[in-house]
């Protein structure tokens, strides 16, 4: 009887450990749906605003996001617009693209940057305004949330600060 009791105890302990490992995976889908149903969204300061349009450049695309306005006067972030060059693996070694931010058919800026094949290499971008509303950037890396270039997954993300905002 003693042997049966210890066998049942070890079996119960083993099943408890297995359940403790598996239950979070089973519940993750329900938890994810529950959070999504609340309407909680990632702040555009972190996500870069909703995508507005995609500009096809042949072998790659430039995604123009909705401008992110300065949330409050006390916030330490300036207004910006995010641009995503994707896929990064299809970009030429040097990118120099004119981009129309507002969809009026006229370019608002020219962004120029090198695309090293090493995904961990430091990136630098130059942005030349071609219309009012955009601030120039020279040799910018990761200065701030509103003024940066970074590799995110298979995209090169450039955030351009807006003038007068």
Per-residue pLDDT tens over the stretch 14-43: 888 887 887 887 777 777 777 777 777 776
Strands lying side by side in the sheet with 125-129: 94-99, 109-114, 125-129, 137-140
Both 95 and 59 in one domain: the answer is yes
Both 21 and 66 in one domain: the answer is no
| Mean pLDDT of the chain, nearest integer | 85
Both 28 and 54 in one domain: the answer is no
Both 27 and 79 in one domain: the answer is no
pLDDT of 4 over the 70 cut: no
Both 78 and 11 in one domain: the answer is no
pLDDT reported for residue 160: 93
pLDDT reported for residue 72: 63
CA 46/CA 44 separation, integer angstroms: 5
Model confidence band, residue 105 (pLDDT cutoffs 50, 70, 90): confident
Provide the residue range defining the domain that includes 29: 1-40
pLDDT reported for residue 109: 93
Both 125 and 69 in one domain: the answer is yes
CA 16/CA 163 separation, integer angstroms: 60
Both 28 and 106 in one domain: the answer is no
pLDDT reported for residue 37: 79
Q: Which of 52, 54, 50 is nearest to 85 (CA)?
A: 54
CA angle 83, 97, 134 (to 5 degrees): 55
Both 129 and 151 in one domain: the answer is yes
Both 25 and 78 in one domain: the answer is no
pLDDT of 127 over the 80 cut: yes
Model confidence band, residue 13 (pLDDT cutoffs 50, 70, 90): confident
Q: What is the pTM of this model?
A: 0.74
């Amino acid at each position: 009887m003693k042997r049966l009791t210890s066998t049942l105890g070890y079996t119960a302990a083993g099943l408890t450990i297995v359940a403790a490992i598996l239950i979070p995976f089973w519940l993750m889908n329900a938890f994810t749906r529950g959070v999504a149903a609340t309407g909680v969204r990632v702040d555009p300061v972190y996500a870069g605003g909703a995508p507005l349009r995609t500009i096809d450049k042949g072998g790659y695309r430039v995604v123009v996001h909705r401008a992110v306005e300065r949330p409050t006067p006390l916030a330490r972030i300036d207004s910006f617009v995010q641009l995503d060059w994707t896929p990064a693996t299809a970009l030429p070694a040097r990118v120099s693209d004119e981009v129309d931010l507002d969809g009026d058919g006229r370019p608002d800026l020219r962004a120029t940057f090198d695309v090293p094949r090493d995904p961990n290499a430091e990136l630098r971008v130059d942005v030349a305004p071609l219309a009012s509303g955009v601030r120039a950037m020279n040799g910018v890396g990761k200065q701030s949330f509103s003024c940066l270039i970074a590799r995110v997954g298979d995209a090169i993300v450039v955030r351009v600060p807006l003038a007068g905002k």
